[in-house]
Amino acid sequence: MSQRKPAQVHGLLVIDKPAGWTSRDVVNKVSGLLGEKRVGHAGTLDPMATGILLIAFGEATKGVRWWQDASKTYETVVRFGSATLSDDAESPPLRTAKVPTLTLETVRAALPPTGEILQVPPAVSALQRGGVRDHARVRKGEVVVREPRPVRLEAVEVLAIDGADVQLRVTCGAGFYIRALGRDLGEAMKSAAHLATLRRTFGGGFTLAEAISLEAFQKLPEDERFTHLRPLPQALGRVLPTLTVGDDLVLAFRQGKQPVLQTELRGEILVLDELGRAVCVVVAHDDEAGARLVVERGFVAPDAAPAADNE
C-alpha cells in the first residue's frame, strides 16, 4: 500500500466567499489553485451566504476544530411575509402571512435572549442521520424533523428596519443557525419570515477586512497566492491563548509527558517553541504546584514561521 504524500502547502487562507458557491466548491477551487489536496474548512456557509470562509492547508488542518468552535458574527436581512422550506430565499414560499408591525421595540421583544438557548435546526441543512444529510433527504421528498438542541447566542442587534425587512447583526457560537433565528423570529411575531441575505463578517478571529475575495485570489499570479496563507501559529493564536516554552519542555511534550508549570492559564492553550513554531495544543488542569499541561493535539512544524502578527 502506498503511503500518503506529505502536504507541501501549510497555513490558513481567509476567503470572502461569493454568493452562489457552496463552501466545498470554494475549497476545491483554491485547493486546485495551490496544488494541495490536504485541505479542510472551518464552518460551512450556505450557497446564498457570503463572507468569511477559513480554509486550512497541510498541518493547519489540525487546527480546524478551534477555528470552527470560535464565535462568529453575521449580518442578515430577515424578510417578513413568507416562510420557506429552507428558511432562506433559496426555496419558494411554503406559506405567506401578514407582515407584522415592525418597530425597534416589537422586534427586540420577539428576539430570543442571549446565552444558552434551545434551537430547532432548519429542515434543509448539512446535519446528517445514518450517513445521509438532511438536505439530501428533503430533495428525496422525506419529511425531516429535528429535535431542539442547545446553542449559544452571544449578541443580537437590530441594525435597520425597512418595510418588511429587518437587518440584524448576530454573534453566536458553533452550531447556531441564523436561518432558524429568522424563522423563529417570524413565528414569535405571529407571522412568517425567512432570510433574504446572510453575510459572515467575523469568524475564527478574523474580520472581513483581512479576507481576500475568491475572484481576486484567482487573478493573482501563482507565486503571490501563497503569500496570503497565514502560518498556523499566527492563525491559531487568534482563538487560543499562547505559551512559549524552551527546548526541554518541547521534548517533554513530544515524549507524552505532562509537565506542571506556574501559569495562570487554564483550559486549552497553544504551545509555541522559541522559534515561534506550533508544538501542540494542551489542556491546563489545576494542580497543587500550578497547572498540569496535557497534550491534546501535536503539530509538526513545516518551518520556523513567526507566531506574532506581522501585518
3-state helix, strand, coil in the chain (%, to 5): 25, 35, 40
**Using CA atoms, how far apart are residues 140 and 157, in angstroms rounded to an integer?**
37
Judge if 11-70+205-230 and 72-203 fold alike in CATH terms: yes
The domain made up of 72-203 has a fold known as: Pseudouridine synthase (3.30.2350)
What is the domain partition of the chain in residue ranges?
Answer: 11-70+205-230, 72-203, 235-298
pTM, rounded to two decimals: 0.88
User: 17 pLDDT band (50/70/90 cuts)?
Assistant: very high
Q: What is the pLDDT of residues 173-199, one digit of tens each?
A: 999 999 999 999 999 999 999 999 999
Q: What is the pLDDT of residues 31-50, one digit of tens each?
A: 999 999 999 999 899 999 99
| pLDDT score recorded for residue 3 | 52
Residue of 237, 239, 168, 226 whose CA lies nearest to 176: 168
Helices and strands (DSSP H and E) totals, the chain: 9, 19
Q: What is the CATH number of domain 11-70+205-230?
A: 3.30.2350.10
Give the active site residue among 16, 25, 46, 248.
46
Between 8 and 51, whose confidence is greater?
51
| pLDDT score recorded for residue 308 | 39
Domain 235-298 grouped into CATH 2.30.130.10: yes
Region 93-110: mean pLDDT is 96
Flag whether pLDDT at 1 surpasses 80: no
User: Could you confirm whether 309 is annotated as catalytic?
Assistant: no
Weakest mean pLDDT among 63-67, 122-126, 138-142, 212-216? 138-142
User: 2 pLDDT band (50/70/90 cuts)?
Assistant: very low
8-state DSSP, 188? H
E strand spans, the chain: 11-17, 39-41, 50-57, 72-80, 82-84, 93-96, 115-119, 128-129, 132-133, 149-162, 165-172, 193-203, 206-207, 212-213, 242-244, 260-261, 267-272, 278-287, 290-298
